[in-house]
Chains A and B, each alone.
Chain A
Amino acid sequence: MVADMASPHTSERDRLAMHSPVVTSTGRDLRLDLFRGLALWLIFLDHIPSNVVSWITIRNYGFSDATEIFIFISGYTAAFVYGRAMSERGFVVAGARILKRAWQIYVAHIFLFAIYLAEISYVATSFENPLYAEEMNILDFLKQPDQTIVQALLLKFKPANMDVLPLYIVLLLLFPPILWLLQRAPTVALGASATMYVLAWWLNINLSAFPEGVWYFNPFAWQLLFVFGAWCALGGADRLGSALRSPYTTGLALAYIAFGIIIAFTWYVPGFSRLIHLPVWFEDLIYPIDKTNLDVLRFAHFLALAAVTVRFVPQTWPGLSSWALYPAILCGQHSLEIFCLGIFLAFAGHFAMVEVSTAIWMQILISALGITIMTGTAALIMWYKTLEGRGPTTRPKTTNADLAGGEA
């Protein structure tokens, strides 16, 4: 996902464009759309609890999960789109567009919060079981809607599974000056980002949450992935190109991925931890693997996955224009809408399972149905955008930042 992106093979791409429904002539790297689409599917599957299909998702085979992919690609796309706007129209215009995008995401988040309120209110009135008297404390916040709703609007109160969009909002709010610096001194910008990451770990810097605690995704730690994505988009990928093509890098990445699989198996396969007995000092060293602060193990795992992906899936890979991958690419091209839909469908799917059946056939049905609805909706959104003359294949002549701005 990293190399070659900023140096598109023009002739090859144009050749593909003629035969493909999806390849654009705008320099957009379809691998980004593909992997973001896949990440959205995985996030949906992971958010349905007790779902047998979620066994296929990457979080069960290593340290990182789809969130890393989503945030990295979002950083990459944001830099690609707004970077061009900033070069062509200046800091103020590009900054204004970025803030507009942050606002859209904020509105989407509040919409999801309303759905969450509806679901939890339903549970409050319909579910009674003395065994779970303690769990029903989750409803406490309904007793003080004045505080809770205001805190939700301030992004301090965030229900479970609703942490990614607030992170994204903060990342975008901080993005204009970072982008400005990335265009002038990319190494300095990346260094500053890494320093911030270290400081966040060292000094325990995080945003506070309501009623207590801190943000589940610490923006000061997770910004590293977003800025790294942006750095790659603005020429960093080229600079890494030769290193990424080296067989040593690939070998190292594959070895680390294998290490991740072995460790993950000790979590999920009973008996495996007896075969592979990790020494206590080693366990003390690696655990807990901190998702809140983007643990180094997670970040490294993402880098390894990205390095291997870039090595074996070139931008000119014919599979990118195949119909089989088109649904994922389509979802990746409308990521905000499909992300929100996925969160909603995970809620709804779990609800349907609780009310109808939790059998394995139901879990598979819900998973398949959810992905179909996500794909259908993405197709519908593309159709609307085509009507308005701003689909990914029909770009407006004056500026092309809006389209991609809508998808950053």
Chain B
Amino acid sequence: MRLVAAAALAAFVFADGAVAAERPRCGVPDYLLFGESPLKRVSAVVATQKRLQIAVVGTGSSALAGPDGPPSAYPARLETVLGQRLTPVAVKVVTLLRTRLTAEDLAKGMDKLVTDEKPNLVIWQTGTIDAIRRLDPDSFKSALEDGVERLHKGGADVILMNMQYSPRTETMISVTPYADVMRVVAQHFDTPLFDRLGIMRHWSETGAFDLYAVGRDNVLAQRVHDCIGRAIAALVINAGKLPAVPAAQAGQ
């Protein structure tokens, strides 16, 4: 609700209603998606080598179950959309997902990831398990700082990605303190934050998706992941200042 009120106010005061992402369903206002933090390593490697190696590090909410899960989860969608929009750059997305791991667990594996996969960009999705277990926000912050430092040292840009907006569990999982910490760490390292929480809340409030829905099938989840993949692609292009084909012309 906060965001509806805030967005209405913003549109009114700042005429800030420009829509960044592709289709109306996936619409995300600029202020939710874009910041001022650059992706310098991404810019350089795309300009000089015409390739982009991305690693998604995260937990369960970066994957979808079932046989059609992996190709419809957001990492695969990101690879497809970004590849189309950045033609002829070769875009490759690898995923390193481990369920139920905290930021601290994930941070430990960052050195190995950098050596093994040599990514130019790491999208680090985290925070959910930390919020569920109510870990000390201070330790969460140190773990994030540790992980981002290791990645930067290893030559990769970083996008931090926060939790999903999950309206039914809002009274049970208190995500705000952890989302705040992630914003602080992103600011400190001048690295982009993909505000999945704010963006999904925006989709819920504008009626783009019914995130209260109950059902076993993957339809809603696949559509949401598709939109997340597109939004991350838009963020990478914007923060990396990459010469991209507009979404509409890329056959989206």
Q: Which residues of A contact B (CB under 8 A)?
A: 47, 49-52, 54-55, 119-120, 123, 126-138, 140, 158-161, 204, 206, 209, 211-214, 216, 268-271, 280, 283-284, 287-288, 290-292, 346-347, 350, 354, 358, 360, 363
Contact = CB atoms under 8 A, between A and B. Distances in A.
Nearest to B224: A131
Given A129-B220, A137-B132, A288-B180, A50 B170 contact: yes
A123 B173 contact: no
A213 B2 contact: no
Contacts of A283: 184, 187-188
A128 B167 contact: no
B134 A128 contact: no
Contact of A131 (B139, B141, B177, B220): B220
B250 to A, nearest CB: 26
B172 to A, nearest CB: 5
B32 A287 contact: no
Interface string B96-134: 000110000000000000000000000000001100111
A290 B177 CA distance: 9
Interface stretch (B43-51, B56-64, B81-89): B56-64
Interface of B: 1-2, 4-7, 9-10, 13-14, 16, 29, 31-32, 59-61, 64-66, 99-100, 128-129, 132-139, 141, 164, 166-174, 177, 180-181, 184, 187-188, 190, 201, 211-218, 220-221, 224
Given A213-B139, A269-B9, A283-B187, A130 B218 contact: yes
Given A213-B139, A270-B6, A271-B10, A128 B216 contact: yes
B132 to A, nearest CB: 5
B168 A132 contact: yes
Contact of B136 (A47, A51, A213, A284): A213
Given A50-B170, A363-B1, A132 B6 contact: no
Nearest to B200: A131
Given A130-B66, A160-B134, 17 more contacts: A49-B171, A52-B4, A119-B172, A127-B214, A130-B221, A131-B211, A132-B164, A132-B169, A135-B164, A160-B172, A213-B136, A271-B13, A271-B16, A280-B187, A292-B137, A350-B170, A358-B167
6 contacts: A130-B216, A134-B164, A136-B169, A211-B133, A271-B16, A358-B167
B11 to A, nearest CB: 9
Interface centre among A51, A52, A134, A358 (most CB of B within 10 A): A134
Contacts of B128: 134-135, 137
A351 to B, nearest CB: 8
Interface centre among A158, A161, A270, A350 (most CB of B within 10 A): A270
Contacts of A291: 177
B32 A270 contact: yes
A127 B168 contact: yes
Contacts of B214: 126-129
Contacts of B169: 123, 132, 135-136, 138
A354 B167 contact: yes
B17 to A, nearest CB: 10
Contacts of A292: 136-138
A384 B61 CA distance: 51
Nearest to B187: A283
A168 B16 CA distance: 44
Nearest to B102: A212
B60 A134 contact: yes
A131 B181 contact: no
